[in-house]
Amino acid sequence: MAMAILVKVILGSIGFAIFWILAVFPAVPFLPIGRTAGSLLGAMLMVLFQVISADEAYDSIDLSILGLLFGTMVVSVYLEKADAFKYLGRLLSWNCLGAKDLLCRICVISAISSALFTNDTSCMALTQFVLKVTRQHNLPPLPFLLALASSANIGSSATPIGNPQNLFIAFQSNISFLDFFMGMLPAALVGVLVNSIILVCMYWSLLSGCKEEEDTAAEVVAEDEVRSHRFSPDTMSHLSNGNTNGSLSATVDSSYFVTLRSLVRSSESERPIVQNGASESIRSSNASLRWRMIFWKFCVYLITLGMLISLLMGENMSWTAIAAALAIIVLDFKDAQPCLEKVSYSLLIFFCGMFITVEGFDRTGIPSSLWDLMEPYAGINRVSGIAVLALVILVLSNLVSNLPTVLLLGARVAAEAGAISLSYEHKAWLVLSWVSTVAGNLSLLGSAANLIVCEQARRAPLHLTYNLSFWKHLKFGVPSTLIVTAIGLTLIHSSSSKYVPA
């Protein structure tokens, strides 16, 4: 019996180790299959090794989280189609007062968009726009890319739909959207502010030495967008080239030109009428299409706002997001397949595999044993205990990643705090959410948002390409993460008791 348990522990640890390696380093030489396939491999190994049964594996998949994630991704796709992210991007450069002003704007807009549309979506939509603006103004991309990624992580902590770990916490804790938002908002606001100050101070000389253009970025970007869609009729090749064949021109009958001139003259009186009629028809059609597009965009924004209001009112988060997505799809009145193909199904599959893998690793008893060692020192009712708990979450989030850390520790931390009071249980969930989210800023591998910004910048068009290295990120990430985490914990400790769920 003891040998069977030991074998289960070893095999479960092997399955989880393979999952972790492929999740953190998806292109390892010995098995370069990527994160999604690595997640499925880890899940399959847990079942094959009989660490967890097939039925238990299916039961460990949280459909409510997947539904909410799918719904918000669909809404985000249609918001992008409705130019919401383009308008957010233009706010970055409207009446910009310089490099430091632009940096602060990126922090604010990245944080707000991440709280509403998830941090990964915001980083994916805004990275190339940030690169474009910095290149047009001869600004160094490094501080602006760091501002985008770090503020996206901090801002996403404010709402349950801001990042995946918050989705899990919101469902497991039964904390309403409004209570979660009110409990996390002070820490998120101050965190974004402090993070902006750290960025400006660390890169002050770099930002001060930049040569800026006289034109605003809004004008440059707008002109670039116009040029990319402008129609320029080509010159016909057989007319532009000189005619070197004299015999060809000699064979042209001059009577043809006389007849052509007579036809032109006879139709001169009719041409204005035809042209005017055609122009009026075209203008009317364009105006109709323009107003129809404006109305559709307004409806998309209105439905999104209704979704957020419903979430604040405590409606079921998963079905609210799916209902909003379906309403926008029906309103679009077109085949939804092109938009649905933009949904990251690989991310949903990754979550399924991760739920099974983490559940199997939890069945080995290793997480429980490690928590039993730390529990006496990580009491949520003491300042020293909160500090120890935060340190454990911070380290594990960068070693195992933040979402698996929340899945492994969430129930244990909440149970230990709930034994004291409901207020402490509520505080424990918020502490877990805050630290696991901000921990993503520590290193380039700490958050998917960081990796998205890094990959988007590396794969951008040649004139925009930038390599955000691990060490460049770490130089900023360590001080920012430690300072922002400490300040946020202080605010959550003092304010969370005001918003205890009924």
Going by pLDDT thresholds of 50, 70 and 90, the confidence category of residue 261 is: very low
DSSP string, 42-91: HHHHHHHTTSS-HHHHHHHS-HHHHHHHHHHHHHHHHHHHTTHHHHHHHH
Residue 27 in domain: no
Residue 48 in domain: no
Position with higher pLDDT, 149 vs 213: 149
- Write down the pTM of the prediction: 0.71
Residue 161 in domain: yes
- Nearest one of 153, 164, 192, 169 to 449, comparing CA atoms: 153
The predicted structure's pLDDT at residue 256: 36
CA–CA distance from 132 to each of 126, 145, 400, 441 (Å)?
Answer: 10, 11, 34, 23
The tally of domains found in the chain comes to 1
- Nearest one of 342, 348, 306, 298 to 323, comparing CA atoms: 306
Q: Residues of the chain with pLDDT > 70: what percent?
A: 83
The predicted structure's pLDDT at residue 3: 56
The predicted structure's pLDDT at residue 278: 66
Mean pLDDT along residues 173-178: 88
9-23, 185-199, 365-379, range with the lowest pLDDT: 365-379
For residue 283, pLDDT over 80 is answered with no
CA distance 290 to 464: 32
The predicted structure's pLDDT at residue 390: 92
Q: Domain range holding 181?
A: 61-211+291-343+366-502
Going by pLDDT thresholds of 50, 70 and 90, the confidence category of residue 25 is: confident
Residue 2 in domain: no
Q: Residues of the chain with pLDDT > 90: what percent?
A: 36
Which ranges of 231-270 would DSSP assign to H, the alpha helix? 237-240, 246-250, 254-266
The predicted structure's pLDDT at residue 439: 93
For residue 219, pLDDT over 70 is answered with no
The predicted structure's pLDDT at residue 253: 40
Residue 174 in domain: yes
* Average pLDDT of the chain to the nearest whole number: 81
The predicted structure's pLDDT at residue 113: 87
Mean pLDDT along residues 40-47: 96
SS3 track for 156-181: HCCCCCCCHHHHHHHHHHCCCHHHHH
For residue 441, pLDDT over 60 is answered with yes
Mean pLDDT along residues 463-484: 88
